[in-house]
């Protein structure tokens, strides 16, 4: 049986898929291979269901999975093996680059690093390593179709709710409240959602032509270098920014303010908030506030809303909830605000604490940020519009 999620593409087919997204870059692609006579596919189309892994812990995964009997996906894996993560353009919807757990185990065990929308590339660093002849181990991050690092704001701990969602969707749904929220969304929308992510993967044939090109200043090579430079900006700047902050912090707030969870936690939190405010790493937003919806979340909100109505009909005293899906998003001029959780920090480096009262942690962090804004110009956080909240107890 022919796989419908994977197929090889000619240059003209790839250009037709990518033209709406990157009209100014098609000539750069054509320059590499237009005059070459090769029978091997230069590109592949690959389509993934919501939540599927495109990259698992630094290694590429075809649409039908790592261990597949599908001839098309086996061929894709073979032609994409020139690096741990092949070069690919997001053709439809978006992907999330994340660190942490790849199993559908415990909620909060994935950490969003970057959201890449249609027209953006991933596998750039690894492809540059291939072109330079570098031999490196697989990176530690993963890539999913749509966002896995999501939070559902609703009373999901009620064991009756899973059964009601299953009745609403006509599925035999099994889900534990400690499991990841994305896995509940994936299971609940499997029969009704048509949300998919598709990518165009550059095959070894294309990248080998690029590597063997006599022109080191080719337009496509220049595109890779520019993209890699832009995507690595946060990593390159973090060390310097954190060194300045650490010196300022240890000489000031660390000496004068209470630190309920310790200096390291407080400093890491300040770094998290600044990185989010500068757009380096994602905050969280409700799906209605973002530029892109990163999964079948609108459908899921309706499904969950109907299940909650059915629950209230059985239990009249139950509270009224309007379910909301929070998804990762980079802040920018079009999306200037987002959420950050002290209880479940959404960036790398956080440590679980046995906290009895989160309201004790808010004031020192807010005072530290105010002190930073007073002593240094150019801080990206607008403290007049930033709200801190924690329930007592």
Q: Which carries the bigger pLDDT value, residue 99 or residue 312?
A: 99
Same domain assignment for residues 135 and 259:
no
With respect to residue 102, please indicate whether it lies within any of the assigned structural domains.
Answer: yes
Q: Is 35 exposed, middle or buried (0-12, 13-18, 19+ CB in 10 A)?
A: exposed
Cα angle, residue 353 at apex, residues 278 and 382 outer, rounded to 5°: 25
Same domain assignment for residues 221 and 244:
no
With respect to residue 60, please indicate whether it lies within any of the assigned structural domains.
Answer: yes
With respect to residue 170, please indicate whether it lies within any of the assigned structural domains.
Answer: no
What CATH number is given to the structural domain containing 121?
A: 2.60.120.10
What total number of domains does the chain contain? 2
Note the residue count of the chain: 393
| CA 102 – CA 99 distance, rounded (Å) | 8
**Number of neighbouring beta carbons within 10 Å of residue 213:** 16
| CA 127 – CA 155 distance, rounded (Å) | 44
Same domain assignment for residues 253 and 369:
yes
Q: How much is the pTM?
A: 0.91
Residue 161, token pair as written in the block: 């709710």
Tell me: the pLDDT tens digits for 33-60? 876 666 778 999 999 999 999 999 999 9
Q: Which residue has the tokens 């991050």?
A: 141
Contact assessment for residue 86 and residue 60, using Cβ atoms and an 8 Å cutoff: yes
Tell me: the pLDDT tens digits for 228-280? 999 998 888 777 777 878 888 877 777 777 777 777 778 888 888 988 998 99
Same domain assignment for residues 61 and 113:
yes
With respect to residue 44, please indicate whether it lies within any of the assigned structural domains.
Answer: yes
Does residue 78 carry a pLDDT above 90?
A: yes
Residue 146, token pair as written in the block: 């749509």
Domain extent for 350: 234-281+341-393
For 157, the enclosing helix (H) or strand (E) is none
């Amino acid at each position: 049986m022919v796989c419908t999620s994977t197929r090889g593409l000619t240059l003209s087919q790839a250009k037709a898929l990518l033209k709406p997204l990157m009209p100014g870059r098609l000539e750069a692609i054509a320059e590499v291979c237009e005059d070459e006579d090769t029978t091997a596919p230069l590109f592949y189309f690959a389509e993934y269901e919501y939540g599927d892994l495109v990259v698992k812990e630094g290694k590429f995964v075809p649409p039908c999975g790592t261990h597949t009997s599908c001839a098309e996906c086996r061929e894709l894996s073979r032609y994409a093996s020139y690096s741990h993560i092949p070069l690919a353009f997001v053709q439809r919807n978006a992907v999330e680059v994340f660190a942490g757990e790849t199993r559908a185990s415990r909620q909060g065990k994935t950490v969003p690093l970057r959201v890449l929308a249609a027209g953006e590339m991933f596998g750039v660093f690894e492809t540059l390593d291939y072109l330079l002849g570098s031999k490196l181990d697989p990176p530690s991050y993963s890539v999913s179709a749509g966002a896995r690092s999501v939070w559902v704001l609703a009373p999901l701990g009620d064991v009756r709710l899973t059964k009601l969602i299953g009745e609403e969707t006509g599925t035999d749904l099994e889900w534990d409240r400690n499991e990841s929220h994305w896995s509940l969304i994936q299971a609940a929308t499997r029969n009704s959602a048509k949300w998919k992510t598709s990518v165009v993967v550059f095959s070894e044939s294309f990248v080998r032509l690029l590597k063997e090109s006599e022109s080191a200043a080719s337009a496509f090579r220049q595109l890779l270098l520019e993209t890699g430079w832009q995507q690595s900006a946060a990593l390159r700047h973090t060390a310097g920014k954190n060194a300045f902050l650490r010196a300022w912090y240890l000489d000031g707030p660390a000496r004068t303010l209470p630190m309920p969870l310790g200096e390291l936690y407080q400093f890491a939190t300040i770094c998290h908030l600044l990185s989010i405010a500068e757009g380096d790493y994602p905050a969280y937003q409700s799906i209605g506030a973002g530029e892109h919806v990163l999964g079948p979340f609108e459908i899921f909100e309706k499904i969950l809303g109907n299940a909650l109505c059915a629950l209230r009909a059985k239990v009249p005293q139950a509270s009224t909830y309007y379910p909301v899906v929070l998804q990762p998003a980079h802040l920018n001029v079009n999306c200037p605000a987002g959420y950050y959780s002290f209880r479940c920090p959404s960036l790398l480096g956080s440590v679980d604490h046995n906290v009895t009262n989160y309201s004790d942690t808010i004031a020192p962090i807010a005072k530290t940020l105010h002190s930073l804004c007073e002593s240094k110009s150019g801080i990206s956080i607008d403290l007049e519009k930033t709200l801190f909240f924690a329930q007592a107890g």
